Amino acid sequence: MTTITLHPDFRVAPVDRRVFGSFVEHLGRCVYTGVYEPGHETADEHGFRRDVADLTKELGVTMLRYPGGNFVSNYTWEDAVGPVEDRKPFLDLAWRTVEPNLVGTDEFLQYCEREGIEPMMAVNLGTRGIDAAIGLLEYCNGEAGTKWADMRIANGRVEPYGVKLWCLGNEMDGPWQIGHKDAHEYGKLAAATGRAMRQVDPSIELVACGSSSMMMDTFGEWERTVLSYCYDVVDHISMHAYYEEMDGDRGSFLASGTAMSTFIERVVASADAIGAQKRSDKRISISFDEWNVWYLFSRFEGETNLPVQRDAPRIIEDVYSALDAVVVGDLIISLLSHSDRVAVGCLAQLVNVIAPIMTEPDGPAWRQTTFHPFATAARLAQGDALQVKVDAATMATAKHGDVPTVTAAATVDPETGALALFVTNRTSEEQVVTLRHPGATARIDGGSAVLADHEGPREGKDAAESYGMVDALPATHEDGTITLRLAPESWTAFHGT
């Protein structure tokens, strides 16, 4: 028998709404023919696709990271500001693509502003360093009267953008990264760059690069060394993780949320160890600024095998299955459960590239299967995350050992009293769950679920959009006990008070 216990007085922390962020990188068709396509029938006067912007709104994205990703590590931001006709294309070495520089900092930040989305910018610590970073920050946030701020004004934007969140490079531990560094080199550079950036604008939040996955040989030692240099300078450390079903190992894939939780807890432990050693009251939080399902090992051949391409090539356009949607829901449970430490999350990426939204150039835009759990959680997870105790049987997995068959996270909105409960059933059987709520404080009014059918990826608009949320199996309330039923291999979002 499975039991979930929760009480509104036992709270983890407020859910930082930035956890429902996503990511726009100059990679493949994320920008060109993704968010931006001037000739498209829905394009606005700035060249951005309205159909994509509307789906982004429906998805509930609160924040967008930009411009990379691996791309940022060889990016010259100055080449992509000012009159478009003066901008020159450059060869992006990360994705071996000719970048036309039609969209740059101003276009992106003004898009965010129009759409009511918070931007998160990354600076290039691969081929560049402090000088380029402080120049870009001044360009974005500086008041009139100094060189870069005046350049922004000359380019038509008077008001500073006030960008708050800044990534100090991207995946600098990865040998594939242009300008890859060891932990000492990166830690020193991140600390020096961060310090200089704070001199330009003390109000910013800074993210140091953590490991690009828990499987990196340097994992742990990287976090320890980097934070020993920049603990006092940064606010967050980044985490990146992509999950996929490998060799038909469905059980391990369904347990991805448990793997994500382990990863978060290890990074938190590494960060807190440095804090303890420094006798610091400060706590570093997590910017999980890339996470998703990505068939990286089974479908992608790697950056170095890409031919040089131009005109927004199709790169890593993964097509998702129903099972992938359940796993995305399970990953969201992990993020919400760690609301005391996870401040930022970015579903990587937003459009076309391992994305919940797909487009055809000069054609339609549509929702992939993974769109649905994200949109549902982004809508319902308001207020504070609650402590949720799950007593469930375990199941053996090849990659993660014994994991719970059921996982859950819950939120309650202190203003409205609205309760949301997110639950994954990782088994192939229907599960009956007793929801214990001491004090008889909870009520479940309904819910919706994503189910993992056994079909493959849903290719194209029609196949993808014939999939969606279904009604949850009805909850029953009897003598103060709530009974929930979970469909086999499903992720369910219940709502109530």
**Looking at beta carbons only, is 103 or 409 nearer to ligand AHR?**
103
Assess 70 for contact with ligand AHR (CB under 6 A).
yes
Assess 321 for contact with ligand AHR (CB under 6 A).
no
Q: Which stretch binds ligand AHR (CB under 6 A): 64-72, 276-284, 329-337, 489-497?
A: 64-72
Among 8, 47, 68, 142, binds ligand AHR (CB under 6 A): 68
Assess 290 for contact with ligand AHR (CB under 6 A).
yes
C-alpha torsion sign, points 72, 75, 80, 81? positive
**Looking at beta carbons only, is 68 or 119 nearer to ligand AHR?**
68
Instruction: Write down the least CB distance from residue 170 to ligand AHR, Å.
Output: 5
Assess 408 for contact with ligand AHR (CB under 6 A).
no
**Looking at beta carbons only, is 59 or 451 nearer to ligand AHR?**
59
- 11 to 40, contacts with ligand AHR by CB under 6 A? 25, 27
Q: How many residues belong to the site for ligand AHR (CB under 6 A)?
A: 11
Assess 171 for contact with ligand AHR (CB under 6 A).
yes
Q: Which stretch binds ligand AHR (CB under 6 A): 12-20, 65-73, 251-259, 276-284?
A: 65-73
Q: Which stretch binds ligand AHR (CB under 6 A): 63-71, 424-432, 461-469, 487-495?
A: 63-71
- 213 to 272, contacts with ligand AHR by CB under 6 A? none
Long-range contacts at 220-226 (CB < 8 A, ≥ 24 apart): 220/266, 220/270, 221/183, 222/173, 222/183, 223/267, 223/270, 223/271, 224/270, 224/273, 224/274, 225/183, 225/184, 225/187, 226/183, 226/186, 226/187, 226/190
Instruction: Write down the least CB distance from residue 23 to ligand AHR, Å.
Output: 7
**Looking at beta carbons only, is 332 or 350 nearer to ligand AHR?**
350
Residues annotated catalytic, as ranges: 171, 290
**Looking at beta carbons only, is 177 or 490 nearer to ligand AHR?**
177
Assess 329 for contact with ligand AHR (CB under 6 A).
no
Instruction: Write down the least CB distance from residue 178 to ligand AHR, Å.
Output: 11
Instruction: Write down the least CB distance from residue 379 to ligand AHR, Å.
Output: 25
Assess 348 for contact with ligand AHR (CB under 6 A).
yes
Q: Which stretch binds ligand AHR (CB under 6 A): 68-76, 144-152, 318-326, 411-419?
A: 68-76
Assess 123 for contact with ligand AHR (CB under 6 A).
no
Distance, C-alpha 302 to centroid of its chain:
21
Assess 330 for contact with ligand AHR (CB under 6 A).
no
Residues engaged in binding ligand AHR (CB under 6 A) = 25, 27, 68-70, 170-171, 212, 290, 348-349
